[in-house]
Chain A
Amino acid sequence: EDQVTQSPEALRLQEGESSSLNCSYTVSGLRGLFWYRQDPGKGPEFLFTLYSAGEEKEKERLKATLTKKESFLHITAPKPEDSATYLCAVQARGGSYIPTFGRGTSLIVHP
């Protein structure tokens, strides 16, 4: 059974204080790992897809990296508008392609 564990559950940062969110996973053959951002009361928005160990993707202050067992979402010099819940999901090869989601990390950035 595919599993995704995100840590920490909640993270409070001061504006400009860089940090990382973790997504540990077990999957029978990784097809893709997805990162989403979710604002309160809204649907998740796509951020990145990673396919293989060593891959990195960047967008503004966010950088996602991937190893064979985990992915990190690095946030450099965060701003209050980066406050949101960040969701990680993995998609296995074969079967129904339905992603398995972690429970998310709630990030609050204080000005």
Chain B
Amino acid sequence: DGGITQSPKYLFRKEGQNVTLSCEQNLNHDAMYWYRQDPGQGLRLIYYSQIVNDFQKGDIAEGYSVSREKKESFPLTVTSAQKNPTAFYLCATLGSSSRGYTFGSGTRLTVV
């Protein structure tokens, strides 16, 4: 079955450490997105990529970085510059406009 795989499901980051969240899709969708979800704040867009080797900043890109070397993969790195990284991170693709986004199952990142 086609879908989006996010890993790991849970991730713990120490102060000053960079961590990378994985997002892989086999839907053959061109556009991929990273969202951050905090309680009571809804979904906030971090970065998005509409084609391989190209990506754009979203509303809250500071402290994050991405790459898009392959159509299937869109990893997100949470750098030490992100001072409040504890959140639920969602990866999504946008294929047929009739269904909007397809989301992954999410990664919960906690600072320890």
Answer yes or no: B105 CB below 8 A from chain A CBs: yes
A30 to B97, CA, bound (A): 12
Q: Which of A34-58 contact B (CB under 8 A)?
A: 34, 36, 41-46, 49
Total CB contacts across the A-B interface at under 8 A: 58
Interface residues on A, range: 20 to 34
A92 to B4, CA, bound (A): 25
CB < 8 Å neighbour of B90 from A31, A43, A99: A43
A87 adjacent to B100 (CB under 8 Å):
no
Answer yes or no: B75 CB below 8 A from chain A CBs: no
Of A9, A45, A103, which is in contact with the most chain B CB atoms at under 10 Å from its CB?
A103
Residues of B within 8 A of A41 (CB): 88, 106, 108
CB < 8 Å neighbour of B43 from A91, A97, A101: A101
Answer yes or no: B70 CB below 8 A from chain A CBs: no
A36 to B43, CA, bound (A): 12
B100 adjacent to A49 (CB under 8 Å):
yes
Residues of B within 8 A of A102 (CB): 42
A96 to B59, CA, bound (A): 14
B41 adjacent to A103 (CB under 8 Å):
yes
